[in-house]
Chain A
């Protein structure tokens, strides 16, 4: 046994087996088959095989990088071996499916899956083709690994661009068609209208452009920001303001360019950004782990719903008698009530720390959701039937409810929330929050008033969530208790962690990645949470500080912590 472990062929065997099991799992959960419906390069490569391919590529890459061999070509070959071993696992799976009738247990072990995995061959030919493909993919992974770092990132970037453009092609096509003169370019890049995916020429062009650009960029000795930094102060300021104006203009014109569907996605992202900014204060700044954050979102939504619903009385199928305010009258009330709720729920948990706080807030979130759906409160907030006909948003009599118009309102809310968080961050209270996050006892010893500091954090966070919830209620027009599951809280928490705890730009990045991307990739919706879970684990293992970390937080995570956990 020892001999095997120390043998140098153990690494490809080990990594190949892990990749093989991962591949089997991917196949059996149905991802491979489901994604096979989507082409990346029309008629040649589809998403399902790409998934398997990426798995093998990664296996080859790691086998090559872990390999202890001195010669580069041997390392690359080990990568290839890992790929071949991984495909062997898949071949075994394919052999086992019909005789064991695996489909009676694993729903996705279908003939279509076998077709995708074996490239539609049978018998020995299937094994041959699979092993060759596996070996070549692993080899490719090993080759990428053996490239100098500069070229490696360039190639990886090129591949990612090709995959993304291929996946999003129908969205891109629809969006860009509004522009004059790009029709022929699109035609060339994506092929004819009924094909899904890039054309071969388009794929090559994208790859060459991105990879080449990336190499060229890394060839330049100084980065753009460094060069700007050397300019005189006046010019720097000019560039900064210019950049800001440009960004403002892009944000302003975005909905016109994006069209209806993408604006709707942008709004969804916007609402999550709003919530993320709020939770970022509670968790990111003050370090109070809140898993029941959705409660405040729900409170905001329900207050808005109750105050503005236009369908009152039993004849409209509803038993609620709300005062029928309009959106603008109800919004401050909703925000205020959420804020008060933040304080009320904050008071009992003042002495509770860490994990206990997480579980108690989770309990609060569930209590609110169950109460909202119960018959007990049905006369007031509609029970499981929810509240319908929530008043739409109007400005001076003009209906504001189309996604493209609502966008501006949400942007306004985000701007406000960003401004508030940004100003709070370095204020007296902001510094008090950070002290609290680092060590509660020391903070108290330094004269920080724990009660008011904590309550301020809960209240501000709750107010943002309440605003988000209120807009959500008006946007959807009807609210049901099942919109306020624990999942929303987890989503918001995950997005600030992926973005970087306590960092404001991180919230935006996190929301775009975790809310925006899954909305765009509709085929993924079935596997959204699965990928999400894996992503969270990988993120925490490799980059626990998030994509855009806050500086102090990053320092903390990377210092060696002596002693206990």
Chain B
């Protein structure tokens, strides 16, 4: 009987729309209630926005790796969050040693650049090793298999870093030039570190986008992600292009790791998990396999996550709404996948079986 009923009403569609409308109306009601209460001034909202923008830029740097690899191999590189973590970790050791030797105070910009370069290099090494050991032998295996090795690699890296360097969280050193805020007139001000994060991430993303769109290697990458076999027939060395893709994604993630650590200060071996999942969520939001999509999705998610809990939930009288920011992020992922499975900008993947 249930079966017949299901067939007649297409209950699923109905339920999905029901879920959607309930959530949207909750969001609307909550926002109106919060705004009417007027507890938060425009300065608060501005701060939330800038924080979200900075966080979103970091997500974007991580998301690029996910989206590039997914575009080419059609696999979620679960170890990518550990690639991010490894960059932040090694960056920490370089930064503390610079800090101890006084180099960080003397020429902070050069020091930070070196820290970032080392972090990127570490991330690249880790990513290339993971690709070589855990993914390449499984190129033609069923899709679940590389997913499992990715999970295995992720566990291994987390635990290796934890046991190598100790379980306690470590604090990134204070950098004097990054302390304080820049006033924008009136009540509005931006923290210097946030400016750095947004600028650096924006610069890196632009460089990456240029690389993928304009250079020969980038063109080959796009060709491989379109169709591996045809690309190979056109004389492209598919394996080497795949490695370069990992390198590109890992470099962005390593830089993201340093920026993340400069912003949030604390690092530990499990720090990659949450930003990693968020970044993948963002990549899916934007349409996975699509570079501008990943950037847009990340910025969107970062801002949404920063403003959302207060805006939507505070007005509904929910206690401690900030605890639920991850719930908001994941709910958004679920909603986007339900109503627009190809993501905001994604179209290419609609045909290729997701």
Q: Name A's B-contacting residues (CB within 8 A).
A: 25, 28-31, 105-108, 289, 347-356, 358-360, 362-364, 366-367, 370-371, 373-376, 378, 449, 451-452, 486, 490, 493-494, 497, 501, 526-527, 529-530, 532-537, 540-541, 544, 556-557, 560-561, 563-565
Closest beta carbon of chain A to B291's beta carbon, Å: 19
Per-residue contact bits, chain B 311-343, to A (CB 8 Å; 1 contact, 0 not): 000000011110110110011011001100100
Smallest CB–CB gap between B160 and chain A, Å?
6
Task: Tell me whether A530 and B163 are in contact (CB under 8 A).
Answer: yes
Q: Across the A-B interface, give the 3 residue pairs with the lowest CB-CB distance, nearest first.
A: A536-B152, A533-B156, A533-B155
Contact of A358 among B70, B147, B318 (CB under 8 A): B147
Query: How far, in angstroms, from A136 to B88 measured CA to CA in the complex?
Result: 41
28 contacts between A and B (CB under 8 A): A29-B160, A107-B164, A107-B165, A353-B354, A355-B70, A355-B75, A355-B76, A356-B354, A360-B334, A367-B327, A367-B331, A449-B3, A449-B6, A452-B3, A486-B273, A490-B151, A497-B148, A527-B163, A530-B156, A533-B152, A533-B159, A540-B146, A540-B148, A541-B138, A544-B138, A563-B229, A565-B140, A565-B228
- Kindly state the separation between the CA atoms of A526 and B148 in the bound complex, as whole angstroms: 22
- B144 near A561 (CB under 8 angstroms)? no
Which residue of chain B has its CB nearest to the CB of A537?
A: B152
A sample of 9 more A-B contacts (CB under 8 A), given A360-B333, A533-B158, is: A351-B341, A355-B76, A370-B326, A376-B320, A449-B7, A529-B159, A544-B141, A563-B229, A565-B140
Interface residues of B (CB under 8 A from A): 2-3, 6-7, 11-12, 15-16, 19, 70, 73-76, 93, 133-134, 137-149, 151-160, 163-166, 228-229, 273, 277, 280-281, 284, 318-321, 323-324, 326-327, 330-331, 333-334, 337-338, 341, 353-354
Across chains A and B, the number of contacting residue pairs, with CB separation under 8 Å, is: 187
Residues from chain B with a CB closer than 8 A to the CB of A532 are 152, 155
Residues of A within 8 A of B75 (CB): 355, 565
Q: Do residues B148 and A105 form an inter-chain contact, with CB atoms below 8 A?
A: no
> Is A565 a contact of B139 with CB atoms below 8 Å?
yes
Residues of B within 8 A of A490 (CB): 151, 155
Instruction: Tell me whether B156 and A537 are in contact (CB under 8 A).
Output: yes
The CA of A363 and the CA of B337, in the complex, are separated in Å by: 12
- Rounded to whole angstroms, the CA-CA distance of A351 and B7 in the bound complex is 16
With a cutoff of 8 Å between Cβ atoms, the chain B residues found around residue A557 in the complex are 141-142, 145
Q: Does B74 lie within 8 Å of A565, measured CB to CB?
A: yes
Tell me the complex Cα distance, A207–B7, Å.
65
Question: Which of these, B11, B165, B323, contacts A376 with CB under 8 Å?
Answer: B323
B353 touches A363 (CB 8 A): no
Known: A358-B147, A537-B153. Contact between A347 and B139, CB under 8 A?
no
Residue of B whose beta carbon sits closest to that of A373: B323
CB distance from B225 to the nearest CB of A (A): 12
Whether the Cβ atoms of B163 and A351 lie closer than 8 Å is no
Q: Are A375 and B330 in contact (CB under 8 A)?
A: no
Select one of A30, A350, A362, A540 contacting B277, CB under 8 A: A362
Given contacts A106-B164, A537-B156, contact A363 B281 (CB under 8 A): yes
- Residues of chain B with a CB closer than 8 A to A362's CB: 277
Query: Which residues does chain A contribute within 8 Å of B338, judged by CB atoms?
Result: 348, 351-352
User: Would B6 and A355 count as touching, CB distance under 8 A?
Assistant: no
A289, B6: Cβ atoms under 8 Å?
no
Q: Roughly how many angstroms separate A486 CA and B146 CA in the complex, as a whole number?
A: 19
The answer to whether B354 and A29 touch across the interface, beta carbons within 8 angstroms, is no
Closest to A374 in B: B323
The docked-state distance in angstroms from the alpha carbon of A102 to that of B76 is 35
Complex Cα–Cα for A108 and B140 (A) = 39
Bound form: Cα–Cα A359–B16 in Å: 18
- Which residue, B75, B76, B137, has most C-beta atoms of chain A within 10 A? B76
What chain A residues lie within 8 Å of B146 (beta carbons)? 540
Check if A356 sits within 8 Å of B228, measured CB to CB: no
The answer, among B145, B273, B354, for a CB contact under 8 Å with A355, is: B354
Give the docked Cα–Cα distance between A107 and B166 (Å). 6
Question: Is there contact, CB below 8 Å, between A536 and B151?
Answer: yes
